Amino acid sequence: MERTESIGRKKARPKEAPGGHKTQKNLWAWGLDNSLDACDANGITSSMTRSRNKISFVCLSPTGGFLRARFCAALPVLFLLSACHRENRYFTPPSQSDIPPTQVRMSGLVAGEASLQFREQQRREYEGNAYHVSEGKRLYMWFNCYGCHASGGGDSGPPLMDDRWIYGGEIDQIYLTIVQGRPNGMPAFGGKIPSQQVWQLAAYVRSMGGHGPKSARSGRDDHMQRDSEQGRKDEEIKPTAEPR
């Protein structure tokens, strides 16, 4: 796995190693660019990007002429970088291993340096990507997580949107919880859900608690908002700007 270091706070974005997971054919040949390569130009990302699904018009900006130069210069680099990753649609799993390096630990509270790094990487990769989070939301319904945890408020299973975690609330800990199952009713989905989908689920679960960049989180659902009378009352009392 290849990682690049940041040129500043928040700017680091781990990129995956070259691998056979390009879903779209190479646009290079047509002289088209990739916005992620625009990131490259800033020396941030690694040599290989995952999804060549963007034409960069940074060089062809809409106003042309004198406005263009000024305008390009004014682009906040940080915004550019985060946007590149946040909005990509990743259809294929990364080629490097995405299995947490630390093994089964029920408490999940102690983590070594390597696993901290890994955790950071997975958080950026999944929590920071709107498509992953939204896929996680879809799978949450598909695999009936909803059946026990409701919309995060908890039912027969524990709530997922508060800060209390029995088995750890970090993304890799949630991953392990899903994969391994937990006593008192949480089934083990290891082998039943492909790894990338588990990460997406974990990222969505994290986003329920307000983790991850706000701009990557999902909006409201397209189904009933109220799972229970309690949830209903809560909403009546205090309308939230960020409904689940």
Partner 1 sequence: MDERSTGLHSIGDAMGRHAQDIDALWDVMLWVCGFMYLLVVGFLLLALFRRGPRRDINDHTQAHEERGLSASLATWTGLIALGLFGLTLFSYFTDRSLVQAAADAQIAIKITGHQWWWEIEYTDPNDPSRQLRTANELHLPVGTPVKISLESRDVIHSFWVPSLHGKQDLIPGRDNDIEILADKEGVYRGICAEFCGLQHSKMHLDVVVESKDGYSAWYERQLQAASPPSDPLAERGHGVFMATACNMCHTISGTDAGGSTGPDLTHVASRRFIAAGALQNHRDNMRAWLANPQAIKPGNHMPIVSLSADQLDALTAYLGTLQ
Partner 2 sequence: MSANATEGTHDGEWLDERETRWRLDRTWSQGRGWLAALSTVDHKQVAKRYFVTAFVFFFLAGVLALLMRLQLSRAENALIGPDLYNQLFTMHGSTMMFLFAVPIMEGLAVYFVPLMCGTRAIAFPRLNAFSYWVYLFGGIMLWVAFALNIGPDAGWFAYTPLSGPEYSPGKRVDFWAQMITFTELSGLAVAIEIVATIFKQRAPGMALNRMPLFLWSMLVMAFMILFAMPSVMLASTFLIMDRLVGTHFFNAAEGGDALLWQHLFWFFGHPEVYIIFIPALGIVSAVVSAFTRRPIFGYPFMVLALIAIGFLGFGLWVHHMFTTGLPRLGSSFYTAASMVIAIPSGIQIYCWIATMWQGKPRFATPLLFVVGFILVFVIGGLTGVMLASVPMDLQLHDTYFVVAHFHYVLIGGAVFPLLAGTYFWYPKVTGRMLSERLGKWNFWTLFIGFNIAFFPMHYLGLAGMPRRVYTYGQGLGWDSLNLVSTVGAVLVAISILILIVNLVRSRKHGEMAGANPWDAPTLEWATPSPPPTYNFRHIPLVASADPLWQHREQLPVMRGLSVDKRELVLTTVLDAKPDVREPVAKPSIWPFISAIAVGAMFIASIFTPWAVIFGSIPAAIAITVWFWPKGAPPPDEEESEP
Partner 3 sequence: MKSPRDNEPLPPQFMGTLAFLPPHAHGNRSLTWWGMMGLVAIESTAFVLAIAAYFYLATHSAEWPPDQLVPSVAAGNVFSVISVLSLIPNLWLKRVAEAEKLKQVQIGLIVMSVVGLALMPVRYFEFASMHVSWADSAYGSIVITILALHTVHLVTDLYDTLVLTALMFTKHAKGRRFVDVAENALYWNFVVVAWFPIYAVLYLAPRFL
DSSP state letter for 125:
I
| Nearest distance, CB of residue 226 and partner 1, angstroms | 17
| Nearest distance, CB of residue 185 and partner 2, angstroms | 28
Alpha carbon distances (Å) from 218 to 42, 93, 186, 234: 29, 21, 25, 20
Place of tokens 């659902």: 221
HSE-CB of 87 using CA atoms within 13 angstroms: 11
Nearer to partner 2, 76 or 191 (CB): 76
Closest to 200 in 3D by CA, of 115, 137, 145, 147: 137
- The 213-242 site mask, x for binding partner 3 (CB under 8 A), equals -------x----x---------xx--xx--
143 touches partner 1 (CB under 8 A):
yes
| Nearest distance, CB of residue 175 and partner 3, angstroms | 31
Interatomic CA distance for residues 232 and 154, integer angstroms: 14
Interatomic CA distance for residues 38 and 80, integer angstroms: 9
The radius of gyration of the chain from alpha carbons, rounded to an integer in Å, stands at: 20
Q: Please list the residues that pair with 186 across neighbouring strands.
A: 182
| Residue numbers 70-99 binding partner 1 by CB under 8 A | 89, 91-93
92 binds, among partner 2, partner 3, partner 1, none (CB under 5 to 8 A by kind): partner 1
Burial class (CB in 10 A: 0-12, 13-18, 19+), 143: middle
Nearer to partner 3, 63 or 225 (CB): 225
Question: Can you tell me which of 5, 9, 20, 25 binds partner 2, judged by CB under 8 A?
Answer: 25
Contact residues toward partner 3 (CB under 8 A) are: 220, 225, 235-236, 239-240, 243
Contact residues toward partner 2 (CB under 8 A) are: 23-25, 27, 30, 32, 35-36, 38, 51, 53-58, 60-64, 71, 75, 79-80, 83-84, 86-89, 130-131, 133-134, 137, 214-216, 218-225, 240-243
Contact residues toward partner 1 (CB under 8 A) are: 23-24, 89, 91-93, 138, 142-143, 191-194, 196-197, 222
